[in-house]
Amino acid sequence: MFNKANLSNTANAANQDQLVWKMLFDRQTALLHRRAVPAFSQGLARLGLRREAIPDIGQLSATVREHTGWQLAPVGRPFEPAAFFELLAERKFPIVTRIRPMHRFDFSPEPDLFHDLFGHVPMLLDEGLADFLHALALAYRAQPANSPAREQLWALYFFTAEFGLVQHEGQPRLYGAGLLSSAGEIHHCVNEYTPRPAFDLATVLHTPVTGTRYQNQYFMLPAWEQLTDCVEELAGMLAVVRA
């Protein structure tokens, strides 16, 4: 039986989602002016992301595949690290299809549609970052299920692809999706009292991960090239551990 009430509720929910997207898009693009790496704004432009409408995941996936060979995989909820890295090993990036509610506007403790589409996808058009994620996922897959190395690889992902900074023309620039998609996280990160130590692979691998609050510190790459350079260093460390 046709239910007008259900149809109305669905329409209202869709309108609310569009409003959240629009407000988040406006706020983040304003905050990220001269704060994000150039690759982010370039990716945003290539994808054609705009404030007026939540983008179509299938169309975005086709664009990403054309540039870096990756695809987007819509999912209903965030994955645990093992399932997440398995997708990344196949050059597929999971996109959570729900968007945060209004009361989580400034900070979402879990990945949502805005975090994934606005924060991650533009950076997937950068070949260096895309290759880094793939190498990281293959390294994770190669470790035993109960290996401490898996926790360390998750920490490396977390403090780069989620909350990473890099020096660009003498200034810190944001490239981690958790920063790019959260006003609250940006304000906390740029606070003069928040530690932003230089990126050191051994330190990062042994730094505890938390996703339920703002980070205690953010690691800063001295140059974008070090992101790919650390893959070789990581391979050497894991070889020593296995030996």
Residues recognised as catalytic: 115, 120, 162, 181
Instruction: Give the pLDDT score at 236.
Output: 77
Quote the CA–CA distance of 125 and 62 in Å, as a whole number: 12
28 with 187: CB under 8 angstroms? no
Strands (E), 27-131: 71-75, 92-96
Instruction: Give the pLDDT score at 101.
Output: 86
Instruction: Give the pLDDT score at 8.
Output: 44
- DSSP character at residue 78: P
Quote the CA–CA distance of 88 and 108 in Å, as a whole number: 22
pLDDT mean values, one per 10 residues, the chain (243 residues): 50 81 95 95 95 94 95 92 96 96 81 96 96 94 91 95 95 96 94 95 92 91 91 75 48
Instruction: Give the pLDDT score at 15.
Output: 85
Distances (CA, A) of 51 to 28, 71, 122, 178: 11, 23, 15, 19
- DSSP character at residue 103: G
Query: Which residues contact residue 106 at a Cβ distance below 8 angstroms, ignoring those fewer than 6 apart?
Result: 182, 183, 184
Domains of the chain: 4-242 (1.10.800.10)
pTM, two decimals, is 0.91
